């Protein structure tokens, strides 16, 4: 099934306790697409870049079956640039620089061929922009998944609440779920969010895994304990991309299959952090994914007498 | 199989964002025994209390099959008293008061009937005291599990390293594993600890679950997402007690059964935090445990195509 991904493409400068780069390719859309391409090759990318964005990076995506017709190239502006430094715990980071550049004027226009997409992943953008994308669709997708962040809860809460009524699955981290609801308990926060529009909620907890709330059901996907986390940048996007890619491939929206999809998102996220930027995601194979998915199965497998 | 538990019995004063008590029964040994008694009734308790410790609390334990012959009652001293206040996250707390009282002179003497115990759980005490307990045994238990804390790594590291060479399973939390090894990565820390003596290592991560390291294998037990955590006091001890109680009951030290035992520890810990002190642990039934164990199974259950 066709999957459309909307989000940023960027240059990142990253410093972790174990690695450093002044310039690598990043952006939510980029990570999502590489992760999703492990499962499906019918991907439509919607983003914006400047004159400085390397053509070969778009070629790399095209070669994986990613249609980049929806990636606007602005000839007289620079690409979005983000710079961050991770603390030793790798769970917290300081943003050093955010140069929006082209992203400041991002008004995504869906090419005709994208407007009947069956799966839609709306990356973290202004809620009004996310809404504008939904309004360009000719048919309602089978599944709309939305990522957001605390910033939009502070500056555009009403827009966010409106767009929450138009989607199926919300993806946030634990602190964002708390902020959105004013509830400290994750379970209470989840129950509240499920009254705001989304039918399912995914709460990401970084190195502590992710939770899927689906009606009264709760599924927990652990993160794989890794000997070395090289660079956590993009792990959340790789998670969302893997999740969506697997659903678009299998085209099965049952709770059972969503659980497996969450695991596939955890699998792609676990690869993502092993190298700097998108480096590792670019090289994983179907076999790598299958082997790691089995590791996830073994990680929580137990028997009751 | 017989299970001997060595540790503190105490009065606690606890304040959480949701509850407060000036005086309740606590102590690692108490929580461990209540949790273990869900699975086995052949429990030997080794502890020390003062003249002020309520007789009916010992009766309650006796009624559950806990032998308290090894609980020394000091006629002219007060019981150990601990007071703590939890932060909103429930994962961190400030210790307000630690009155060691009788615990300052705790030199546990194992009654004759305890000296051939098949399972031994050494609660968090000075490593020299833990060693002295092992030395009183007439036969080597099938399994010795040891709990410790960062304090002993600071003031008695050599003693701790010595006792690590005498045990089978070490139980610590993530920050203690890091402190003991100087490794930030939990996986690297675990590998190092498994060269220090223990054959298995359990790393507790509070609300984020627990990991079992067994040779090259890693098992992850999630914590149950709860709507309300009322009081986290004793959760770690309820975990260790449930783990050990299940092993003593089943008498099977295979990796497969240890995984189930970890889940049973997570089950008893999940009940523990639902009410203040030992209140909830005192009232759970075999049926409650079975129902909750199935919830744990459902929580991480997924299928790979």
Predicted confidence (pLDDT) per residue in A83-140, tens digit: 999 987 777 889 998 999 999 989 999 999 999 999 999 999 999 999 999 999 999 9
Element (H, E) at B21: strand B19-26
d(CA A183, CA A85): 30
Predicted confidence (pLDDT) per residue in A267-305, tens digit: 999 999 999 999 999 999 999 999 999 999 999 999 998
Could you tell me if B242 and B263 are in contact, meaning their C-beta atoms sit under 8 angstroms apart? Answer: no
Predicted confidence at residue A260, as pLDDT, reads: 98
Structural domain count of chain A: 1
- A-chain residue closest to B294, CA distance: A304
Could you tell me if B130 and B155 are in contact, meaning their C-beta atoms sit under 8 angstroms apart? Answer: no
Closest-CA distance, A153 to chain B, in angstroms, reads 21
Predicted confidence at residue A92, as pLDDT, reads: 82
Candidates B192, B222, B302: best to mutate against A (most CBs of A within 10 A) is B302
Percent of chain A's residues with pLDDT above 70: 100
Predicted confidence at residue B35, as pLDDT, reads: 98
Give residues with Cβ within 8 angstroms of B285, minimum separation 6: none
Predicted confidence (pLDDT) per residue in A147-171, tens digit: 999 999 999 999 999 999 999 999 9
- Residue B275 DSSP class: S
Residue B256 sits in a domain whose CATH number is 3.40.1190.20
**Residue B303 within any structural domain of the chain:** no
Average pLDDT, rounded, for chain A: 95
Q: Is residue A69 over pLDDT 80? A: yes
Predicted confidence at residue B10, as pLDDT, reads: 96
Predicted confidence at residue B261, as pLDDT, reads: 98
**Residue B305 within any structural domain of the chain:** no
Closest-CA distance, B78 to chain A, in angstroms, reads 38
**Average pLDDT estimate for A194-217:** 96
Contacts of B262 in chain A (CB under 8 A): 302
pLDDT confidence bin for A6, thresholds 50/70/90: very high
Predicted confidence at residue A124, as pLDDT, reads: 93
Predicted confidence at residue B88, as pLDDT, reads: 79
Predicted confidence at residue B28, as pLDDT, reads: 96
Could you tell me if A298 and A269 are in contact, meaning their C-beta atoms sit under 8 angstroms apart? Answer: no
Closest-CA distance, B96 to chain A, in angstroms, reads 24
Per-residue HEC secondary structure of chain A comes to: CCEEEECCCEEEEEEECCEEEEEEEECHHHHHHHHHCCCCCCEEEEEEEECCCCHHHHHHHHHCCEEEEEEEEECCCCCEEEEEEECCCCCCEEEEEEECHHHHHCCCCCCHHHCCCCEEEECCCCHHHHHHHHHCCCCCCCEEEEECCHHHHHHCHHHHHHHHCCCCEEEEEHHHHHHHHCCCCHHHHHHHHCCCCCCEEEEECHHHCEEEEECCEEEEECCCCCCCCCCCCCHHHHHHHHHHHHHHHHCCCCHHHHHHHHHHHHHHHHHHCCCCCCCCCCCCCHHHHHHHHHHHHHHHCCCCC
Predicted confidence at residue B19, as pLDDT, reads: 86
**Residue A125 within any structural domain of the chain:** yes
**Average pLDDT estimate for A39-68:** 96
Contacts of A209 in chain B (CB under 8 A): 208, 222
Predicted confidence (pLDDT) per residue in B113-133, tens digit: 999 999 999 999 999 999 999
**Residue B199 within any structural domain of the chain:** yes
d(CA A147, CA A237): 9
Asked if A227 is an interface residue toward chain B (Cβ–Cβ < 8 A), one would say yes
Element (H, E) at B66: strand B66-74
In the numeric block, the tokens 């190298």 are attached to A275
Predicted confidence at residue A14, as pLDDT, reads: 93
**Residue B254 within any structural domain of the chain:** yes
The whole domain housing A60 covers 3-169+230-282
**Residue A291 within any structural domain of the chain:** no
Number of C-alpha atoms within 13 angstroms, CB side, residue A40? Answer: 27
d(CA B84, CA B79): 16
Residues of chain B with pLDDT under 50: none
**Residue B127 within any structural domain of the chain:** yes
Flag whether the ipTM exceeds 0.90: yes
pLDDT higher at A105 or A45: A45
Predicted confidence at residue A228, as pLDDT, reads: 86
**Residue B79 within any structural domain of the chain:** yes
Asked if A179 is an interface residue toward chain B (Cβ–Cβ < 8 A), one would say no
Asked if A81 is an interface residue toward chain B (Cβ–Cβ < 8 A), one would say no
């Amino acid at each position: 099934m066709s999957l459309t991904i909307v989000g940023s493409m960027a240059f990142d400068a990253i410093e972790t306790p174990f690695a450093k780069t002044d310039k690598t390719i990043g952006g939510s859309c980029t990570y999502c697409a590489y992760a999703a391409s492990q499962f499906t090759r019918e991907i439509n990318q919607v983003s914006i870049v400047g004159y400085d964005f390397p053509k070969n990076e778009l070629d790399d995506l095209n070669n994986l079956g990613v249609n980049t017709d929806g990636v606007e190239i602005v000839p007289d502006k620079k690409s979005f640039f983000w710079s961050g430094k991770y603390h030793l715990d790798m769970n917290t980071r300081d943003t050093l620089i955010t140069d929006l550049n082209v992203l400041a004027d991002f008004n995504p226009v869906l090419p005709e061929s994208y407007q009947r997409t069956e799966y839609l992943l709306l990356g973290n953008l202004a809620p009004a922009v996310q809404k504008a994308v939904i309004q360009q669709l000719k048919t309602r997708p089978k599944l709309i998944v939305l990522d957001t962040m605390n910033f939009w809860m502070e500056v555009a809460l009403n827009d966010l609440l409106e767009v929450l009524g138009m989607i199926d699955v919300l993806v946030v981290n634990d602190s964002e779920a708390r902020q959105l609801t004013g509830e400290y308990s994750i379970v209470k926060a989840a129950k509240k969010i499920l009254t705001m529009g989304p039918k399912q909620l995914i709460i990401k907890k970084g190195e502590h895994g992710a939770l899927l709330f689906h009606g009264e059901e709760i599924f927990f996907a652990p993160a794989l304990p890794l000997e070395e986390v090289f660079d956590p940048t993009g792990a959340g996007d790789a998670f969302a991309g893997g999740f969506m890619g697997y659903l678009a491939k299998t085209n099965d929206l049952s709770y059972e299959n969503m659980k497996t999809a969450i695991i596939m998102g955890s699998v792609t996220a676990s690869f993502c952090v092993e190298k700097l930027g998108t480096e590792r995601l670019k090289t994983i194979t179907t076999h790598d994914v299958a082997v790691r998915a089995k590791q996830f199965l073994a990680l929580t497998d137990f028997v009751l007498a």
